[in-house]
Amino acid sequence: MIQIENLTFTYPGAEEPTLKNLSVEIEQGDFLAIVGNNGCGKSTFCKTLNGLIPHFTAGDMEGKVVIGGLDTRECEIGDLAQKIGYVYQDFENQIVRPTVLDDASFACLNFDVKDYEEKGRRALEMCGIAHKTDEYIWQLSGGQKHLLALAGAAALSPEILVLDEPIAQLDPAHARDIYEVLKTMNETYGKTIIVIEHHTEYIARYCKHVMLMRGGGIAWKLPAREALCRVEELQKSNIFPPQVTLAANRVAGGAETVLPVTVEEGKEFFGRYPQTDVAKARILDAPPEENTILEFENVSVEYRSVKGDPVRVLNDFNLEIHKGEKIAVIGSNGAGKSTIMKLMCGLLKPSEGKILLQGQNIKEMEMNELSQILSLVYQNPEEMFIKDSIRRDIEYAMKVRDVENYQKRTEGLLERFQLTDLQDRDGRLLSGGQMRRASLAIGIALNPSILLLDEPTANLDIATRKEILRTLSDMKNITDTVMIATHDMQLVCEWAERILVLSGGKLLKDGTREEVFNDREVMKEAGIQPPEIYQMGKEIRPEISCYTVDEFLRLFQREAV
Amino acid sequence: MNQKANITQSQKLMVFVLSMSLYGLATLFTELIPSFQVGIVEFSVEYFLFIPLTLAILFDPMSAALGAATGEIVFSEIMLGQFGGLGELEKFITLTIGIYVAGRLVKNPKNRKAVAAASIFGMILQQFMGCVVDILKVQLAVSDFEAVPGLPQSVFFTEGFAFLNDVLFSGILFCMLPTVFLVPRLYGKIEPLLGLKPRDEKNLPAGDAGMTAKAAAGAVIGFAAAVGAELLAESGMSLIDWEASWAESSTAFIVGIAAAAVLVILVCSRILKNSRRTEAVQGEM
Amino acid sequence: MKEKLSESIFDKISIDYIRNQVLKNAYGNDDTVIARLDPRVLLIWYCFFGIVPWFLDNVVLLICLFLFVAAAAYKAKIAPLVMFVFCLGVFSQTGYLLIVSLFFGGNAETIVPVLIMTLKVAIVSMASITVFSGLDPDRLANGLLWFGCPERLSFSISFAYRILPILMEEFQNILLSYRMRGKAPKKKGISGKIKYLIYQVKVIIQAFYPLLLNTAKRSRTTVEALELKGYRYAASNKEVKRMKLSSLKIVKHDFAFIAISVVWVFGSIGMSVTI
């Protein structure tokens, strides 16, 4: 289906080629995952497939790319678009029409396909959003938008679909939806699917082959099972194999080459290893002093809606936050996580009830005072960069408040977040991980006693994610109360001391991870899944809950030191 | 692909989209933010002209200018229903010329003086053209303009004042200063995001140096077209006025107009049907 | 007065409110009588009510036409903010002339021509609000395309409605960043208020720096996607245009609307003649 021979590509002005002498063949009907650390050329590679390189993006291209018999260099982007569909990582910007059906059929219309509406409808059907056909784009949720972007690409019925990090911003339920759709496309409609993906659990469950890219070249392309078992090699490229595989590798001490990649396989595998009698219970940190720092009293929030009555996103909400707590807020997209955070910073005003910060009503506080105590780091770091260099961004809040030695403090922060070398660059032009670090530095510049983080680990590869986690634990001595809204259950399990589960604007559950994850009802209602390793643990020792790979390993003698 | 600095169609489209959406957004706000008046002096946050000016100085001036003019019509006129019919054409043309000329004038975006001069010049050009047309408009909208005591003077006065006020207030505050602030900051940063090379003396968007005779001539012709269109509309108006007095009865005239309008509607609907039929036929062929 | 205004600008009219109103105006009224009309019929209707009033000098007739257009605007469910802007617009175009001409020694006679002019402006703008806000953006774009407007314009209209909510949200977030991290001057006293106003305007201008860069990032993806979806290919293909326009159909509903308009106009003429 796809043949690539000796492909080398250099961006204009770049010294090193981004793709180096790359050759590969991808068969029809494959479900291929491309993995590799940030900046290894994955996205560039995908753009050579659909002809954007060399037709749209200038640069030096050598070698040959043949898609279904067409040489990309010799044919128009338009002809290629009918062979290969592409869904961007920032898929939101790929949707160009105001209504759903219109966007789905837009490509067909442009390419003069007579039954373009029918084609659009069929694509929506295929992607499972047929019930949204007549809606406007802004009425869709993030996951639905992604499905629409996919439908828009699939409407021309290309034989190949390429998706760049399809689930990076989605909650687990929506992520599964996307992959189920892709699976149907692959199995029922015989499409060749190529995804760039960090989440190896999904690779294990859905993909047929994995291609590892390293430094602009292809390290290998292997069947998915085999690929995921190459634990060391993957880790070297900042790819983390599924937790089950990782645990199995540790239990086996690297002695086995065939490792389990899913929970089902793990059951059989771990059964072969001796277990310890008593799993060590996790020693809980001493509960923090009951010192209420922030309080929600019967808070309700309404949003103006475009049609009809205002929408209630929070209803009679009560919450107490104590000094020193590490809180994770979880729940599906639209459950009200961001609303709570915005309320706390005074960016949103409650329509009923009040919020007390250190005993004072937020409503009566000046924004200036508030931001000294409380700071919010957006999900999208780009919106935090308002100056033209990160140094200026970090110092801005301190400078306008005439903080003493603000320059020294800025320097300290730059160092702490390893940004000193980048200080004069514009935040937007940094890599994902650097952007995230910079946004954290901006967030704590004023030494807030409460720090709010919205999805701090979204869109990051695992190495960067680890880095952020490390930074979070580093910050313990700066900011004592931290609240994170997230879909990342591994983060929740490794870090949080208190978990709030939200669903439909209500507080469904409030407790420790034991209390939350062992409550099946709540998990189901909120659409949350515990991390894979938890499920694995339950499979072999139903009475015990383990939340991290390390905890799981304590079940086995080999590791029980 | 090629080493020449020619901007491809798609890159032009990118500049167009950027200029349209951002300037459109800005005009949407200015349309909604009430201006406040001190006596007859109107302080309004008019024209965030610095946005298209910045883009025109950094990228292809024509795309930026067209994008801005389209953006204003689409966002603030059509979206808010403030569409003024043919009158918008004049605004479209003057805005395009103003921005385009300013964009062509700058050879090196790093030269702050050049940027400042070009931006204020573009603004003055645009405002002046707009002012001339405005006076004509009021003059012809009120049928016995000269007969109303005090009206001509007041129109000339307010329009002239508005022009000065716009140039001094909006021109400096919302055009020159922000453009001078933004251009050097964005230079070298925004171009790679669009996959372009930054503009420098050797790498000018149109391939030739700054303001050529050809470009200047184009601008003059454009303005002539705007004025011409406006004057044509005016003369058409007075013609009908004259006819009305010739018909001696305004009632007859009114009935005539209404009848003509009905006729137009009927003819149009017939055309619609016919064209659909022919299209259907063509479709089958 | 001035202080009040400056406050209302930046505190009462929040961007959130504007965003909501614009969205409401664009998408919230797609099920009204007006929105269901064929865009071409409405555009012709607009041509009549947008041009003819300029030639009329009869106060009664103008008032009748005004009432009709106002009724149509009411039926189109125009968002309150847009109506407010409309009133403001009419005042700023002609209302102030009244005051100014009185100031320059005008008398009661001045009022009649100015009233006529105000009515003219009101009818014309109201008609445009009804047509351009009442219509679904996409249908409007198709209607304009049918009348031979450049394809680029009709695309821009649809795209503007698509991108607007995104842009507004982003702009709002950037401004919030400024609010959270910046330090606004105290709003005490006249000079304080003016300082506050200047600060706000400065922030809005500065906010365009990040917005420009962020939007540039976006528009790259958008234009690439357009390329992949064959937009450029379609722009030069007449067949595509024909296919796009084939969805437009004139039905009974449209004829009824035309009939009512014609009857009303003739009725008004009759009335103006008899009075």
Instruction: With a cut of 70, say whether residue B283 has pLDDT above it.
Output: no
Q: How big is chain A, counted in residues?
A: 561
Q: Quick one: which of C13, C271, C222 has its CA closest to A106? A: C222
Q: Quick one: which of A499, A496, A494 has its CA closest to A518? A: A499
Query: Which of these CATH numbers, 3.40.50.720, 3.40.50.300, 3.90.1150.10, 3.40.640.10, describes A324-350+363-511?
Result: 3.40.50.300
Sign of CA dihedral B163, B165, B169, B170: negative
Q: How many CB pairs under 8 A join A and B?
A: 19
Residue type, A472: L
Q: Quick one: which of C220, C223, B16, C229 has its CA closest to A77? A: C229
Q: What is the Cα–Cα distance from C163 to C28, expressed in whole angstroms?
A: 17
Distance from CA of B74 to the nearest CA of C (A): 6
Positions of chain A with pLDDT under 50: 281, 283, 559-561
When pLDDT is averaged across residues C196-209 and rounded to a whole number, the result is 84
| Residue C44 to residue B264, Cβ atoms within 8 A | yes
Is the separation of the CB atoms in A519 and A531 below 8 Å?
Answer: no
Q: Which residues of A touch B1 (CB under 8 A)?
A: 54-55, 58-59
Structure token pair of residue C62:
């103008």
Reading phi first (left if > 0) and then psi (alpha if -120 to 50, else beta), residue A238 is in left
Q: Does C77 touch chain B (CB under 8 A)?
A: no
Among the ranges given (A220-234, B148-162, B262-276, C10-24), the one the predictor scored with the smallest mean pLDDT: B262-276
Q: Does A309 touch chain C (CB under 8 A)?
A: no
Q: Quick one: which of A68, A54, A70 has its CA closest to A26? A: A68
Q: A560: burial class by Cβ within 10 Å (0-12, 13-18, 19+)?
A: middle
Q: Quick one: which of B64, B98, B76 has its CA closest to B171? A: B98
Spelled out in words, what is the top-level CATH class assigned to the domain B9-245?
Answer: mainly alpha
Measured in degrees and rounded to the nearest 5, phi and psi for residue C263 equal -60, -45
Supply the pLDDT for residue B80.
Answer: 72
| Residue B48 to residue C208, Cβ atoms within 8 A | yes
Supply the pLDDT for residue C266.
Answer: 87
Supply the pLDDT for residue A29.
Answer: 92
Instruction: With a cut of 70, say whether residue B234 has pLDDT above it.
Output: no
Distance from CA of B173 to the nearest CA of C (A): 10
Q: What percentage of chain C has pLDDT greater than the value 70?
A: 87
Place of tokens 């001796």: A274
Give A207-254 as a DSSP string: -SEEEEEETTEEEEEEEHHHHHT-HHHHHHTT-PPPHHHHHHHHHHTT
Q: What is the Cα–Cα distance from A360 to C17, expressed in whole angstroms?
A: 27
Could you tell me which chain B residue has the CA closest to the CA of C213? Answer: B190
- CA dihedral (B66, B68, B74, B76) in degrees, to 10, reads -150
Supply the pLDDT for residue B110.
Answer: 86
Structure token pair of residue A504:
């439909």
Q: How big is chain C, counted in residues?
A: 275
Supply the pLDDT for residue B169.
Answer: 74
Of residues B21, B251, B255, nearest to C215 (C-beta): B21
Supply the pLDDT for residue B172.
Answer: 82
Q: Which residues of C touch B9 (CB under 8 A)?
A: 232
Distance from CA of B185 to the nearest CA of A (A): 7
Q: Quick one: which of B200, B165, B182 has its CA closest to B49? A: B182
Structure token pair of residue B63:
């795309």
With a CB cutoff of 8 Å and minimum separation 6, the contacts of A428 are A382, A385, A435, B189, C210, C213, C214, C217
Measured in degrees and rounded to the nearest 5, phi and psi for residue A106 equal -60, -45
Give A252-292 as a DSSP string: HTT--S----SHHHHHHHHHTS-B-SSPPPPPPPPPPP--E
pLDDT band at C58 (very low <50, low <70, confident <90, very high): confident
Q: C201: burial class by Cβ within 10 Å (0-12, 13-18, 19+)?
A: middle
Q: Quick one: which of A304, A307, A87 has its CA closest to C15? A: A304
Q: What percentage of chain B has pLDDT greater than the value 90?
A: 6
Q: What is the Cα–Cα distance from C264 to C270, expressed in whole angstroms?
A: 10
| Residue B10 to residue A54, Cβ atoms within 8 A | no
Supply the pLDDT for residue B7.
Answer: 62
Q: In this structure, are strands A481-485 and A326-330 parallel, antiparallel, or unpaired?
A: parallel
Strand order in the sheet with A292-303: A311-322, A292-303, A352-357, A360-361
SS3 label, residue A189: coil
Is the separation of the CB atoms in A463 and A432 below 8 Å?
Answer: no
Q: What is the Cα–Cα distance from A382 to A468, expressed in whole angstroms?
A: 17
Among the ranges given (A250-259, A346-355, C16-25, C252-261), the one the predictor scored with the smallest mean pLDDT: C16-25
Supply the pLDDT for residue B243.
Answer: 36
pLDDT band at B266 (very low <50, low <70, confident <90, very high): low
Higher pLDDT, A320 or C103: A320
Q: How big is chain B, counted in residues?
A: 285
Query: In angstroms, how far is CA B251 from the centroid of its own chain?
Result: 38
Reading phi first (left if > 0) and then psi (alpha if -120 to 50, else beta), residue A8 is in beta
Q: Which residues of C touch A111 (CB under 8 A)?
A: 230, 233-234
Q: Which residues of A, range 55-114, sit inside 8 Å of C by Cβ? A: 56, 76-78, 81, 85-86, 88, 90, 92-99, 102, 106-107, 109-112, 114
Q: Quick one: which of C22, C34, C28 has its CA closest to C160? A: C22
Is the separation of the CB atoms in A456 and A301 below 8 Å?
Answer: no
Q: Do domains A2-249 and A324-350+363-511 have the same CATH topology?
A: yes
pLDDT band at B238 (very low <50, low <70, confident <90, very high): very low
- Residue A86 parent element (H or E): strand A84-87
pLDDT digits (tens, 9 = 90+) for C210-246: 999 999 888 888 888 888 888 877 777 788 888 888 8
Structure token pair of residue A486:
């997230």
Q: What is the Cα–Cα distance from B86 to C96, expressed in whole angstroms?
A: 23
- CA dihedral (B215, B221, B227, B233) in degrees, to 10, reads -130
Instruction: With a cut of 80, say whether residue C182 has pLDDT above it.
Output: yes
| Residue B1 to residue A54, Cβ atoms within 8 A | yes
| Residue C220 to residue B151, Cβ atoms within 8 A | no
Supply the pLDDT for residue B145.
Answer: 60
Listed in sequence order, the DSSP H helices in chain B are 9-32, 50-58, 61-71, 87-105, 112-141, 151-165, 177-186, 190-193, 213-246, 250-284
Reading phi first (left if > 0) and then psi (alpha if -120 to 50, else beta), residue A248 is in alpha
With a CB cutoff of 8 Å and minimum separation 6, the contacts of B213 are none
Supply the pLDDT for residue C197.
Answer: 78
Could you tell me which chain B residue has the CA closest to the CA of A9? Answer: B1
Q: A429: burial class by Cβ within 10 Å (0-12, 13-18, 19+)?
A: middle
Sign of CA dihedral B167, B168, B169, B172: positive
Instruction: With a cut of 90, say whether residue B36 has pLDDT above it.
Output: no
Distance from CA of C191 to the nearest CA of A (A): 19
Q: What is the Cα–Cα distance from A160 to A46, expressed in whole angstroms?
A: 11
Q: What is the Cα–Cα distance from B189 to B186, expressed in whole angstroms?
A: 5
For residue B25, the tally of other CB atoms under 10 A from its CB is 24
Place of tokens 């020449």: B4
Average pLDDT over chain C, rounded to whole? Answer: 80
Place of tokens 């209500």: A506
- For the question of whether the overall pTM of this predicted structure is more than 0.90, the answer is no
Q: Quick one: which of A554, A558, A488, A543 has its CA closest to A283? A: A554
Nearest 5°: the CA angle B241, B243, B248 is 100
Angle between helices A263-271 and A243-252 (to 10 degrees): 20
Among the ranges given (A35-39, B62-66, B142-146), the one the predictor scored with the smallest mean pLDDT: B142-146
Supply the pLDDT for residue B244.
Answer: 35
Q: In this structure, are strands A160-164 and A84-87 parallel, antiparallel, or unpaired?
A: parallel
Instruction: With a cut of 70, say whether residue B209 has pLDDT above it.
Output: no
Structure token pair of residue B54:
């910045």
Q: A408: burial class by Cβ within 10 Å (0-12, 13-18, 19+)?
A: exposed
Domain boundaries, given as residue ranges, for chain A: 2-249, 250-284+530-561, 324-350+363-511
Structure token pair of residue A379:
């999900």
Structure token pair of residue B179:
């453009």
Tell me the ipTM for this assembly: 0.83
Cis ω for the linkage preceding A54 (within 30 of 0): yes
Is the separation of the CB atoms in A197 and A356 below 8 Å?
Answer: no
CATH architecture classification, A2-249: 3-Layer(aba) Sandwich (3.40)
Q: What is the Cα–Cα distance from A75 to B28, expressed in whole angstroms?
A: 42
Supply the pLDDT for residue B87.
Answer: 63
- Residue A35 parent element (H or E): strand A31-35
Instruction: With a cut of 60, say whether residue B259 has pLDDT above it.
Output: no
pLDDT band at C115 (very low <50, low <70, confident <90, very high): confident
Could you tell me which chain C residue has the CA closest to the CA of B85? Answer: C50
Distance from CA of B142 to the nearest CA of C (A): 7
pLDDT digits (tens, 9 = 90+) for A369-410: 888 888 999 888 888 898 888 999 999 989 888 888 889 989
Radius of gyration of chain A measured on its C-alpha atoms: 25
Domain boundaries, given as residue ranges, for chain C: 1-28+150-236, 31-135+250-268
